[in-house]
């Protein structure tokens, strides 16, 4: 078999092996020198996502410029960039599969710094635009496009070039868009129109806003809705930081994907205007909801999915707000994160609700809850629990006997399914750690605890 791999008689197997080395740039380079056949297989993989690898010297950018027309070479020469290399063995631009524009910007600026080119920002942006145009016109077919963090303007003519070169987006699978990117409305509309026209294979879509001080510009709503509806099978969607206008428009467009959509993650979006808006997600396999400092939004969640993952962060979580969604989620709830900087209010109500309605939790990450008999009873009822991370407060610091009893009971009731236990934030537990270890019968794969070297054994 080894001989067949070396001689090229098993190309599928060799391709699989080389793809598994896609993040091992030095190993791939070594493979390229084995023989002509291995070189032919390795080089395209090396150039699929060249801007992502931090360890890769940005001087590879120079190779792209060798295929430029004379006018472009002359303009680069005015920047102090001389293109004096012979035509390369491969058309490297054609191998591009992943384009993250923030990585492209970083590599170009790093390359100009290494070359000691004293270029102003507009000259660097010209080089970036030139590369994007080169990729579009090379015959490359993207699989992933990331427009997340764009700190520069892309020339409108570049978008027209993208529109004309239909093959560039024809195999696009993953798309990342950000409302805070510096794209004007005309550029945005052209891009979304091009995507709607030239691709129908997007499977993963991430839409969001990272810069909350920036006026959203990216989402030209009608074009965005058209692009979403033009896709055949979107399976995963992440929405974050969106205002109610963008959120509701996107949700309506996603109705066209209800037969294929499997997983949705909503992070800190404003969807409190219409309680029924999330009902379209009832057939999902997994729904993630992540809320920061606005737990009241959970009150309107009224849908059932196979796996519901909730993550709530607030300075002070009120357990009563969680009751409705926990009761409605019931046995569907598998992951729950409650991150309260202070003590959780109405925690007994929260605990009783979890005990009564949510027995199938596998992942529990909770902070700001009391270390009490009620809480320990809750842990005992979660017989499918696999991951547990706790930061608990204790009102019984002066009652050593009471704490010893609680720690002992806690250790004894841990579910046998538990694999990961993180207690390192509970400094008060140091004194009782040996008691815990003595009574814990669970075969944990991971146990995280605080430093105990200087503590006296009880």
- The string of pLDDT tens digits covering residues 123-148 is 888 899 899 999 999 999 999 999 87
Tell whether the model's pLDDT for residue 218 goes beyond 50.
no
- Pick 27 or 443 by higher pLDDT: 443
Alpha helix ranges (H) inside 235-308: 244-254
Both tokens of 120, joined, read 């102003």
Tell whether the model's pLDDT for residue 52 goes beyond 90.
no
Q: Supply the pLDDT for residue 155.
A: 79
Counting DSSP H helices and E strands in the chain, the numbers are: 17, 13
Q: Supply the pLDDT for residue 455.
A: 47
How many other CB atoms sit within 10 Å of the CB of residue 179?
A: 22
Task: Output the CA–CA distances (angstroms, integers) from residue 69 to 89, 140, 256, 270, 282, in the order listed.
Answer: 18, 18, 44, 49, 54
Ordered by start, the domain boundaries in the chain are: 1-46
Tell whether the model's pLDDT for residue 94 goes beyond 90.
yes
Facing residues of 289 across strands?
A: 266, 310
The b/e string for 215-249 (b: 16+ C-beta within 10 A; e otherwise) is: ebebbbeebbbbbbebbeebbbbbbbbbeeebbbb
Sign of the dihedral defined by the CA atoms of residues 317, 319, 325, 331, in that order: positive
CA 391 to chain CA mean position, Å: 26
Mean pLDDT of 382-410: 85
Q: Supply the pLDDT for residue 458.
A: 44
Tell me whether strands 174-178 and 98-100 are parallel, antiparallel or unpaired. unpaired
How many other CB atoms sit within 10 Å of the CB of residue 437?
A: 11
Highest mean pLDDT among 14-18, 164-168, 169-173: 169-173
Q: Supply the pLDDT for residue 27.
A: 78
Percent of residues, the chain, with pLDDT higher than 70: 85
Mean pLDDT of 318-327: 85
Integer Cα distance of 216 and 212 in angstroms: 9
Percent of residues, the chain, with pLDDT higher than 90: 33
Integer Cα distance of 356 and 354 in angstroms: 6
Length of the chain equals: 458
333-337, 355-359, 387-391: least confident range: 333-337
- Pick 53 or 370 by higher pLDDT: 370
How many other CB atoms sit within 10 Å of the CB of residue 59?
A: 12
Facing residues of 366 across strands?
A: 338, 390
Integer Cα distance of 122 and 130 in angstroms: 12
Question: Which segments of 195-332 are extended strands (E)?
Answer: 204-208, 236-240, 263-267, 286-292, 307-314
Task: Pick the closest to residue 261 from 230, 240, 284 (CA basis).
Answer: 284
Mean pLDDT of 400-428: 91
The pLDDT mean for the chain works out to 83
């Amino acid at each position: 078999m080894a001989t067949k791999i070396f001689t090229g008689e098993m190309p599928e197997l060799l391709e699989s092996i080389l793809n598994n080395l896609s993040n091992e740039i030095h190993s791939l380079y070594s493979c390229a020198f084995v023989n002509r056949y291995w070189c032919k297989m390795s080089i395209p993989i090396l150039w699929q996502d060249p801007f992502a690898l931090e360890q890769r010297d940005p001087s590879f950018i120079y190779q792209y410029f060798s295929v430029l027309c004379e006018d472009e070479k002359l303009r680069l020469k005015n920047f102090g960039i001389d293109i004096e290399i012979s035509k390369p063995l491969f058309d490297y631009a054609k191998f591009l599969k992943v384009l993250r524009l923030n990585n492209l910007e970083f590599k170009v600026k790093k390359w100009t710094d290494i070359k000691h080119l004293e270029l102003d920002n507009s000259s660097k942006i010209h080089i970036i635009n030139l590369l994007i145009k080169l990729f579009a016109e090379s015959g490359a077919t993207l699989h992933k496009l990331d427009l997340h963090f764009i700190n520069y303007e892309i020339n409108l003519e570049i978008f027209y070039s993208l529109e004309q070169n239909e093959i560039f987006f024809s195999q696009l699978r993953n798309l990342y868009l950000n409302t805070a990117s510096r794209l004007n409305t005309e550029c945005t509309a052209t891009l979304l129109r091009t995507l709607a026209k030239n691709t129908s294979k997007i499977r993963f879509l991430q839409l969001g806003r990272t810069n909350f001080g920036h006026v959203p510009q990216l989402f030209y709503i009608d074009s965005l809705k058209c692009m979403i509806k033009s896709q055949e099978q979107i399976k995963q969607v992440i929405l974050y930081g969106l205002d109610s206008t963008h959120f509701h428009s996107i949700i309506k467009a996603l109705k066209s994907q209800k037969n294929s959509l499997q997983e949705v993650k909503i992070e800190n979006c404003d969807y409190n205007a219409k309680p029924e808006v999330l009902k379209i997600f009832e057939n999902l396999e997994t729904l993630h909801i992540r809320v920061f400092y606005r737990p009241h939004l959970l009150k309107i969640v009224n849908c059932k999915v196979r796996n519901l993952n909730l993550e709530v962060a607030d300075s002070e979580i009120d357990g009563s707000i969680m009751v409705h969604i926990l009761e409605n989620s019931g046995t569907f709830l598998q992951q729950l994160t409650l991150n309260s900087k202070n003590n959780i209010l109405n925690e007994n109500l929260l605990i009783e609700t979890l005990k009564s309605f949510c027995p199938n939790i596998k992942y529990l990450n909770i902070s700001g809850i009391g270390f009490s008999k009620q809480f320990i009873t809750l842990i005992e009822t979660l017989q499918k629990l696999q991951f547990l991370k706790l930061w608990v407060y204790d009102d019984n610091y002066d009652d050593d006997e009471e704490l010893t009893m609680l720690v002992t009971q806690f250790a004894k009731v841990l579910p046998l399914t538990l694999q990961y236990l993180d207690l390192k934030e509970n400094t008060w537990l140091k004194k009782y750690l040996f008691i815990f270890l003595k009574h814990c019968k669970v075969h944990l794969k991971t146990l995280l605890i605080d430093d105990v070297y200087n503590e006296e054994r009880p």
